[in-house]
């Protein structure tokens, strides 16, 4: 990867041997390994490592989970927050695992639409809850610093499965609670 980064710098018209760039190929390779570490992590194993039996059947929500990802179209970052909710059916998962699940999928080359669905589907398939809702609000540097250059643009995606899809009341409760206190 370091050799490719050196070649890329040369194609940009830079000298990879100049003082400021001498270690850039190594630093860039390390950064990309970190930013795409989700490929080396198993979301099912993560969730199964922290399942607990329960009779709870009320909505569980974790909101404002910070996410950082890389757009697969331009290799530029997008970042924002993820809200995850589910209604247990006999099992819950450790709360930190919801944030880690979002991170596993975000730390891959992505489009926000797929990222949202992957988080929801993984929870639904592994936890088998009554329903799952995921909303992601993100800003994309491919829109902010290039192309249309719309500085305040934000993309919002949602995935609603099970009762979150089938019941308007359940979906509305999740959407209301995930927005409550936003910006606080």
Question: Secondary structure of 16-74 in the HEC alphabet?
Answer: CCCHHHCCHHHHHHHHHHHHCHHHHCCHHHHHHCCEEECCCCCCEEEEEEEEEEEECCC
Catalytic residue check, 71:
yes
- Catalytic residue, chosen from 7, 26, 40, 72, is 72
Domain extents in the chain: 2-35, 50-179
- Catalytic residue, chosen from 71, 118, 130, 137, is 71
- Catalytic residue, chosen from 82, 83, 112, 130, is 112
| pLDDT attached to residue 54 | 93
| pLDDT attached to residue 181 | 58
- Catalytic residue, chosen from 82, 110, 118, 140, is 140
| pLDDT attached to residue 149 | 86
Domain 50-179 classified CATH 3.40.50.1970?
no
- Catalytic residue, chosen from 2, 14, 41, 142, is 142
Bridge pairing between strands 109-110 and 51-53:
unpaired
Catalytic residue check, 82:
no
Distance CA 88, CA 79 (A): 28
| pLDDT attached to residue 146 | 87
Catalytic residue check, 112:
yes
Q: What is the pTM of this model?
A: 0.93
Catalytic residue check, 165:
no
Give the chain's length.
184
Facing residues of 78 across strands?
69, 140
- Catalytic residue, chosen from 73, 113, 128, 180, is 73
| pLDDT attached to residue 35 | 96
| pLDDT attached to residue 184 | 41
| pLDDT attached to residue 182 | 53
Q: How confident is the chain (184 residues) per 10-residue block, as mean pLDDT?
A: 96 96 97 97 96 93 97 96 97 96 98 98 97 98 89 94 98 94 50
């Amino acid at each position: 990867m370091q050799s490719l980064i050196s070649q890329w710098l040369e194609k940009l018209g830079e000298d990879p041997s100049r003082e400021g760039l001498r270690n850039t190929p190594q630093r860039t390779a390390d950064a990309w390994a970190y930013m795409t570490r989700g490929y080396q992590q198993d979301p099912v194993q993560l969730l199964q490592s922290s399942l607990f039996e329960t009779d709870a059947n009320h909505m569980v929500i974790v909101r404002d989970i910070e996410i950082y990802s890389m757009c697969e179209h331009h290799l530029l970052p997008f970042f924002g927050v993820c809200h995850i909710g589910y209604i247990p059916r006999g099992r819950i998962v450790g709360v930190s695992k919801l944030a880690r699940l979002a991170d596993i999928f975000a730390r891959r080359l992505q489009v926000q639409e797929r990222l949202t669905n992957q988080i929801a589907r993984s929870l639904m398939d592994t936890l088998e809850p009554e329903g799952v809702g995921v909303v992601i609000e993100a800003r994309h540097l491919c829109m902010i610093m290039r192309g249309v250059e719309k500085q305040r643009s934000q993309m919002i995606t949602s995935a609603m499965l099970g009762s979150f899809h089938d019941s308007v009341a359940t979906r509305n409760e999740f959407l209301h609670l995930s927005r409550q206190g936003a910006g606080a």
